Amino acid sequence: MAARTHLDRLANPETWSTTLAGILFDLDGTLVDSTAVVERQWWTFLDWYGLPAEAFPEPLHGKRAEDHIRGLLPDDQVADAVARLSALEATDIAGVTAVPGAATLLDAVAGVVPWGIVTSGTYEVATARLAAAGLPTPGVLVTAEDVRAGKPDPEPYLIGLERLGAAGPVVVFEDAPAGIRSGREAGCPVVAVTTSHPAADLAEADVVVPDLTAIALTAPARDDSAVLTAAR
């Protein structure tokens, strides 16, 4: 893992600050609140295949549907099951909303530093949920189709870093332990939000905040960077 020597802690222990040149966000649980929707869809999925309640995946967020399904069904059924669930996820979007502070933060980021999304969901599902939440779809959107190994493997965020092409440090925003590990193994500092997991489960992150209302982005410190501050 790359050394994170660019991190700075302010004198005030209630805040954390870093200079950055780009941001990569997870989607579900980080930018959009889809937990109730995803739970509904997974109960439907279990019913389709006659699976017991004990098969309900925990935790839901942080891993690709394919990775969950591989532990539930024979290999020859996985591809069709993933496609079937993805189709449901892309159309059943009632109840998907933006996480508090998401729209404001994305407005602040736009035009200041490059940003993108790295999600365990498919492209179709990601764009549908962003639209339902009233959030923009970025030019850099890494989805389940783009990777061979999902989170917690670093591949998703390594692809995101390559596509983002930022000139300096990139901060990752996550809500799940698997995503935090993926971002850190890709060499990025990680800000975690407690929207789907308790703070104790997110201890590997550099800083943990309740939601995105705790984040502020100031005017660029240089032409290619900005300063991000998180209130703990």
Question: Is the alpha carbon torsion for 208, 15, 119, 203 positive or negative?
Answer: negative
Angstrom distance (rounded) from CA 175 to CA 201? 10
pTM of the model: 0.85
Give residue-wise pLDDT tens across range 50-59.
999 988 887 6
Give residue-wise pLDDT tens across range 220-230.
656 678 999 99
> Which residues are part of the catalytic machinery?
26, 28
Could you give the strand order of the β-sheet that contains 215-217, starting from the edge strand earlier in sequence? 7-8, 15-20, 226-231, 215-217
As a whole number, mean pLDDT of residues 159-164 equals: 98
pLDDT score recorded for residue 9: 37
- Reported as a pLDDT band with limits 50, 70 and 90, residue 6 is very low
Tokens of 57: 């995946």
- Reported as a pLDDT band with limits 50, 70 and 90, residue 62 is low
pLDDT score recorded for residue 13: 54
